[in-house]
A = this chain, B = another copy of it.
Amino acid sequence: MDLVRRTIERYVQLTKEEWSFVLPCWSPTEFPRGSHVSRSGAVEKRFYIVEKGVQRLFVEHDGNEICLGFSYDHSWSGDYDSFVRQAPGRFNVQAVTDSVLIGIDHDDLTRLYEQVPAMERFGRLILEELLVGRATREIEQIAMSAEERYRRLVDRSPQLLQLVPQKDIASYLRMTPETFSRLRARVL
């Protein structure tokens, strides 16, 4: 619960009474390694803060899985696209390591938006952050070579390379595992 409080406080300040509305809406769920947090085709009912573990976001295509990103640390997790639309999702989220996620129900969040004006702002600020993140990723995808993107990943999140299979990293960098393997051999 402390994590929820600290996370929300990064964006807005709430009164004691407001906290008493907000905090009870959040609760932890365990996702063992390999289990799905969100499955494409299903409507995402909850949205999560990562307490522990790494999750990968991917889409299926021709029987391949293409990885769009990872969640870990105390960042956000879940299929926000489906959560916002409350329509069947197009993404999958899967626990890559044993994970604990602290989630809130869509209905509860909607109610909080009504009850607590500061939460409406919280929602806006998170979305701004998510959007800026996407823009950054889009730029990187275009303006950096595979090798640069690899170096940057090593640089920013070295722990990922230990925790996540190389084929997922390869997919995230938009190349085959073979090409990724050769790149590593070449670059060291």
Measuring CB to CB, which residues of chain A are less than 8 angstroms from any residue of chain B? 59, 61, 66, 68, 80-81, 84-85, 90-91, 113, 117, 120-121, 123-124, 127-128, 130-132, 134-135, 138-139, 142-143
**Known contacts A59-B139, A143-B61; A80/B120 CB under 8 A:** no
3 closest Cβ pairs, A-B complex = A127-B127, A81-B135, A124-B124
Task: Tell me whether B85 and A132 are in contact (CB under 8 A).
Answer: yes
Contact A84 B132 (CB under 8 A): yes
* A135 contacts across to B, CB distance below 8 A: 80-81, 90-91
Please determine whether B127 and A131 come into contact, CB atoms closer than 8 angstroms.
yes
Q: Are B80 and A131 in contact (CB under 8 A)?
A: yes
A138 CA / B132 CA spacing, docked (Å): 15
Distance of A91 Cα from B79 Cα, bound (Å): 26
Instruction: Name which residue of chain B comes closest to A138, CB basis.
Output: B68
Q: Which of B61, B68, B81, B120 is the one whose CB lies under 8 Å from A131?
A: B81
CB distance from A91 to the nearest CB of B (A): 8
A109 to chain B minimum Cβ distance, whole angstroms, is: 11
Closest Cβ–Cβ distance, residue A121 to chain B (whole Å):
6
- Residues A90 and B127 in contact in the complex (CB < 8 Å), given A85-B132, A117-B120: no
Question: Could you tell me the distance in whole angstroms from the C-beta of A69 to the nearest C-beta in chain B?
Answer: 10
Does B131 contact A134, Cβ atoms closer than 8 Å?
yes
Complex CA gap A66/B14 in Å reads 43
Q: What residues of chain B lie closer than 8 Å to A128, measured between beta carbons?
A: 84, 127
Can you identify 17 A-B contacts, CB atoms within 8 angstroms?
A59-B139, A61-B142, A66-B142, A68-B138, A80-B131, A80-B135, A81-B132, A85-B132, A91-B135, A113-B124, A120-B124, A124-B127, A127-B127, A127-B128, A130-B131, A131-B134, A134-B138
